[in-house]
Amino acid sequence: MRIAVAFFAALLFCSPIATAQQSFDTTTPLVSRIGGEIPAWVNKANESMGRPELKTYTPTPAEMKKAEAALALLTPLQKSVAQKHLRSFTFTDAADFNGQALRSGQGDDFKVDIIFNRIILSETTSDFLTRKERQLFDASGSTIELTVDGGKLDAIDYVILHEATHLVDYTLGITPRTMTMKGEIAEDAHTDFTRGIWQTAFTLAAPYEDRIFRRVNFAPDRKTIPISEAKSLYEALGRTPLISIYATRMWGEDLAETVAWRQMEKLGQPYRVEIRDGSKVVYTFAPLKNPLVRARFGLLARFDSADLQ
């Protein structure tokens, strides 16, 4: 089955089903929330939207150790927010996504249930990113091949850093609360992270927007471009302060990707895209060396503290 490459979906459910299951003990250790059955409210919500039921996958003992180790790599701020808001951390088999962070409840009392595709328990970050990026391109009949070196850590280490950033964003509003598909938002509605970079939640500001970003996506019915245009896609990315193609989807993903890679670099992991034509390397791109990207790392120092204020 072709696996969709989107690994985050923020769905706000305020139904009676979701609200009724809000309570849980926020003092329990984060590792105690790993595994178990997919929450019933998630499948009821999926059913109401005509989506298939998610089947629970029970990790092996070795896989559980990977998940526990991934939680230990969260930044201090992510751990602090997750302790209060992350209700469950479950797995599913044969899903059409890599991961979903599903939010229920309103105001400061929201809770999040994260569901991962079991596939990321058997991949390294390099495996995961190579698979994800390759699905942007039509490589039929071509000798060109793209690979991503994202280091040797388990894929779940990288993915949980991304997902936990969304929890922080929900809580602290590091990206704007305003969501609009059309028209610029007011200057005072922007945050330090988005000002001058995003025009709307889904459109980059004029200096950085490029039509090639809108010709690819990570959805199950994704659009692809010829792999011969891969170099042009990453060159366009290199002219922006965004760290990945996935970050061009919307400002929330921009934040999650930037935080994840800031932490991955602290963990000694590389990030390099390589394009080969046969045995010849025709292009390499190292997003962590982009000075526009690095300039934004200074905006994220709060992730190094557990203080929620």
3-state secondary structure the chain: CCCCCCCCCEEEECCHHHHHCCCCCCCCCHHHHECCCCCHHHHHHHHHCCCCCCCECCCCHHHHHHHHHHHHCCCHHHHHHHHHHEEEEEEECCCCCCEEEEEECCHHHCEEEEEEEHHHHCCEHHHHHHHHHHCCEECCCCCEEEEEECCCCEHHHHHHHHHHHHHHHHHHCCCCCCCCCCCCCCHHHCCCCCCCCECCCCCECCCCCCHHHHHCCCCCCCCCEEHHHHHHHHHHHHCCCCCCCHHHHCHHHHHHHHHHHHHHHHCCCCCEEEEEECCEEEEEECHHHCHHHHHHHHHHHHHHCCCCC
pLDDT tens digits, 251-264? 999 999 999 999 99
Task: Say what the pLDDT of residue 9 is.
Answer: 42
Q: Are residues 49 and 118 in the same domain?
A: yes
Task: Say what the pLDDT of residue 221 is.
Answer: 62
In a domain, 309, yes or no: no
Q: Are residues 98 and 205 in the same domain?
A: no
For the chain, the C-alpha Rg in angstroms (whole number) is 19
Mean pLDDT, to the nearest integer, of 60-73? Answer: 97
Q: Are residues 180 and 284 in the same domain?
A: yes
Token output for 245: 């193609």
In a domain, 160, yes or no: no
pLDDT tens digits, 163-211? 999 999 989 999 998 776 667 888 889 999 999 999 999 999 999 999 9
Token output for 193: 């992270």
- CA–CA separation, 201 vs 180, rounded Å? 6
Question: Is pLDDT of 116 > 70?
Answer: yes
Q: Are residues 100 and 217 in the same domain?
A: no
Question: Is pLDDT of 73 > 60?
Answer: yes
In a domain, 294, yes or no: yes
Task: Say what the pLDDT of residue 52 is.
Answer: 84
Confidence band, pLDDT 50/70/90 cuts, at residue 11: very low
Question: Is pLDDT of 2 > 50?
Answer: no
Domain range spanning residue 93?
Answer: 10-123
Confidence band, pLDDT 50/70/90 cuts, at residue 8: very low
Task: Say what the pLDDT of residue 94 is.
Answer: 67
Task: Say what the pLDDT of residue 13 is.
Answer: 34
Q: Are residues 177 and 298 in the same domain?
A: yes
- CA–CA separation, 209 vs 237, rounded Å? 9
- CA–CA separation, 245 vs 253, rounded Å? 10
Q: How many domains does the chain have?
A: 2
In a domain, 214, yes or no: yes
The helix-helix angle for 61-72 and 155-172 (nearest 10°) equals 50
Task: Say what the pLDDT of residue 271 is.
Answer: 98
In a domain, 139, yes or no: no
Question: Is pLDDT of 130 > 50?
Answer: yes
In a domain, 180, yes or no: yes
Task: Say what the pLDDT of residue 98 is.
Answer: 84
Mean pLDDT, to the nearest integer, of 32-53? Answer: 88
Q: Are residues 297 and 204 in the same domain?
A: yes
Q: Are residues 192 and 269 in the same domain?
A: yes
Q: Are residues 101 and 196 in the same domain?
A: no
User: Has this prediction a pTM greater than 0.85?
Assistant: yes
Confidence band, pLDDT 50/70/90 cuts, at residue 64: very high
Confidence band, pLDDT 50/70/90 cuts, at residue 146: very high
> Residues near 58 by Cβ (< 8 Å), separated by ≥ 6?
35, 91
In a domain, 5, yes or no: no
Task: Say what the pLDDT of residue 23 is.
Answer: 65
The chain-wide mean pLDDT, for the chain, equals: 89
- CA–CA separation, 94 vs 119, rounded Å? 9
Q: Are residues 96 and 203 in the same domain?
A: no
In a domain, 164, yes or no: no
Domain boundary at 88, 123, 158, which? 123
Percentage of the residues of the chain whose pLDDT score is greater than 90: 73
Which of 113, 98, 109, 91 is CA-nearest to residue 44? Answer: 113
Task: Say what the pLDDT of residue 182 is.
Answer: 67
Task: Say what the pLDDT of residue 48 is.
Answer: 87
Q: Which residue has the higher pLDDT, 17 or 208?
A: 208
pLDDT tens digits, 261-298? 999 999 999 999 999 999 999 999 999 999 999 999 99
Q: Are residues 26 and 105 in the same domain?
A: yes
Token output for 94: 């044969």
Task: Say what the pLDDT of residue 148 is.
Answer: 98
Token output for 277: 């034509």
Q: Are residues 175 and 280 in the same domain?
A: yes
Q: Are residues 96 and 179 in the same domain?
A: no
Mean pLDDT, to the nearest integer, of 111-124? Answer: 93
Residue 103 to residues 12, 22, 197: CA-CA distances in angstroms? 5, 10, 27
